[in-house]
Structures are given as C-alpha cells and as structure tokens.
Amino acid sequence: MKKQIFIAGIAVLSLIMIVFINSAQNFDRIDELYVFGDSLSDVGNVFEATGGAYPPNPPYFQGRYSNGRLWVEHLADKLELSPKQTANFAWGGATSGINSNDVPGLLAQVQSFIDSKQEVNPQALATIWSGANDYLHGATNPIKSVENLSRAIALLSQAGIKNILVANLPDLGQLPATRNNPNSETLTALTNAHNLNLSKSLDELKQQLNSDTQIIEFDVYSLYQEAITNPAKFGFINVSDTCLNQSPQTPESESNSPQIASTITVCERPAQFLFWDGIHPTAAAHQILAEKAFLAIK
C-alpha cells in the first residue's frame, strides 16, 4: 500500500513539474517584437518614404543604414520570429522627442504604435535604442532626452508591454565622424551623462511601473568599448576607420540624392570593420549586438 501511495505521489509530482515547466516556457516565450529608435534600428522606413533614394542602395543594404541586416533582425531570428511577428517603428534621423527632421521621433513612434494596436500582446518584446541624434544634432541636455526615453517606456508599459529592452549609447565622441571634431570631448561627456541618468531612471521605473513589467538594460556602451580595446575578440581588425571611405560625415544626413552611391568606395572586408560609415556599425557589428541583446533577454 505504501509503495502504491509513493508511486502515486511521484506521478502527481511529475505532473506538477511538467505543468510548471510548460508554464515557465510559455511565460518566457517572446512571440512578437516591436522596434523603436533611429537609424540603428530602421530597416527601411526612411528608404520607403524617400522612394528608395536614401540611404542609397548600393552601397547601403536595402534600406538599412549598414551593409547588411541590422541587430533587431538578427534578434528576431534568435527569438524564432517571422517578419509578420515584427513591427518596426524606427526612423533614421529620429531623436527621442516627438518629431525630428521630418521623421517621427521616439515618442511619436510609441504613440503611433499605441494608436495602431487594439490589443497588445503580453508576450511581446519592445526594443528602444534612441538618443544619439539628440546630441549629434546639437542638444546639450541629457536630462530631457532621458525623460523622453522614460516617458516612452512608461507609455509602453501602460499599453500592456511587459518586456522592454532599453539600450544606452556608445561613446558619441569617439565615432569616426566625430572623433577629430572640436566637439568630440563634449559629445563624450554628454554620452556619459546620458548613460548615467538613463541607468538611474531605469532603476526608478522598475519600482514605479507595473510589477510584471520587465525592463532589460542593454549596455551598448561597454560592448563598443570592449570591441575597440580588444578588436580581435570580435574578429575586427579596424575599429577606428569607416569601411565606406567617403560616407556622410554629418549625423544621418538628410540628403536624399542617390548620386552619393557613385562617389564612394567600399573596403574589401567589411566584416573586419566595426564601423560601416561615420556613425553606423557594420553588419558584422550588428550581429554581435544581436547576440549580446539576446543574452541580456535570456
């Protein structure tokens, strides 16, 4: 009799464990991806809006501000999501506010998302990488930019998004387009202030928002610094120059002229470069970003 009770107990315990494991897997499963930000995440919104004129293809890849697919696309692959399970609201040139350079800023993108969704998927992941253009376009108040990001996060949480990945900024004073400029040190200082304020704000939001909202911090700054100080670890040989030797040297240039494609040359081995142009990483770097973002999520 005791043996039968023991066996029955094991069976019940096994059933409970199976249910628990399945529940955990279902909770952890990301089955939709919403993307917000600027050219580091834009997979074709500016390209479509300009009738395919910008960024010019070639040398840029099919509407991306790089020579290949971007980190959010690789991240979707790692999450086993189809294109239909991804909605990209990011625009090249966007700042963290409402509108910038005739494109919707981060807050406008989030509002557009909220307006377009009748029901938000609770198992979706939202990614936010924004703020660089604020400073590259002349802003000097990191508190305001971080407030915009915090507002965007709060709006997404209120709309029902439970998983939000937020990236900080790489050193904006050490990009190929800015490194030798007079304002390089200022951009570095603004980057540091932005990242510090963002980290503090995210800690506060974790306490203030719904308890089931998970904010995932993505430390892009440290990843860039590691790649620059130890390039061989990532397969890079050149982490200071651009693969495009005559790429636009102004942040996300608004020029829509396709003639730029005939005035530049491309390096022989883009995968060995960290930077594609003066601002944007190569496709190889985007793959590394995706790998690190995926690890942060898991």
Angstrom CA distances, 277 to 71, 171, 251, 286, stand at: 16, 15, 10, 13
Least confident among 64-68, 239-243, 255-259: 255-259
Give the per-residue pLDDT at 270: 98
The token pair that represents 141 in the structure block: 């108040």
> Is residue 125 very low, low, confident or very high in pLDDT (cuts 50, 70, 90)?
very high
Rounded percentage of the chain residues whose pLDDT exceeds 90: 79
CA dihedral 100, 101, 103, 104 (to 10 degrees): 0
Please name which of 222, 138, 145 lies closest in space to residue 178, comparing C-alpha atoms: 138
Q: DSSP 3-state helix, strand, coil percentages of the chain (rounded to 5)?
A: 50, 15, 40
Q: What are 255's two structure tokens?
A: 């020029």
Q: Of 71-80, 86-95, 96-105, where does mean pLDDT reach its minimum?
A: 96-105
- Number of helices (H) and strands (E) in the chain: give both, helices first: 9, 9
On the question of pLDDT at 291 being above 50, the answer is: yes
Quick count: other Cβ atoms within 10 Å of Cβ 236? 20
What letter would DSSP give residue 68?
S
In total, the chain counts a number of residues equal to 298
CB atoms closer than 10 angstroms to residue 11: 10
Predicted confidence band of residue 263 (pLDDT cuts 50, 70, 90): confident
pLDDT at 248: 44
Other beta carbons within 10 Å of 167: 28
Strand 32-37, strand 124-129: pairing = parallel
| pLDDT score recorded for residue 28 | 64
Q: What is the pLDDT of residue 210?
A: 83
Please check whether residue 159 is in contact with residue 114, taking contact to mean a CB–CB distance below 8 angstroms.
Answer: yes
Joined tokens for residue 72: 């959010």
DSSP element (H, E) containing 285: helix 283-297
The answer, yes or no, to whether residue 12 has pLDDT greater than 80, is no
The model carries a pTM of 0.86
pLDDT greater than 50 at residue 29: yes
Question: Residue 24's pLDDT band (boundaries 50, 70, 90)?
Answer: very low
Whether the pLDDT of residue 138 is over 80: the answer is: yes
Name the least confident of 10-24, 45-59, 75-89, 136-150.
10-24
Average pLDDT over residues 235-256: 71
Q: How confident is the model at residue 249 (pLDDT cuts 50, 70, 90)?
A: very low
Specify the CATH number of the domain 31-297.
Answer: 3.40.50.1110
Give the distance from CA 32 to its chain's centroid.
15
DSSP state of 176: T
pLDDT at 245: 86
Q: Rounded distance, CA 103 to CA 91, Å?
A: 7
Out of 39-48, 87-96, 132-141, 260-269, pick the least confident. 260-269
Q: Dump pLDDT digits (tens) for 191-210.
A: 999 999 999 999 999 999 98
Mention every residue, 6+ apart, whose C-beta is less than 8 A from residue 295.
Answer: none
**Per-residue pLDDT band at 216 (split at 50, 70, 90):** very high
- For residue 69, how many C-alpha atoms fall within 13 Å in the half-sphere facing its CB? 11
CA distance linking residue 213 with residue 50, whole number of Å: 37
pLDDT at 102: 87
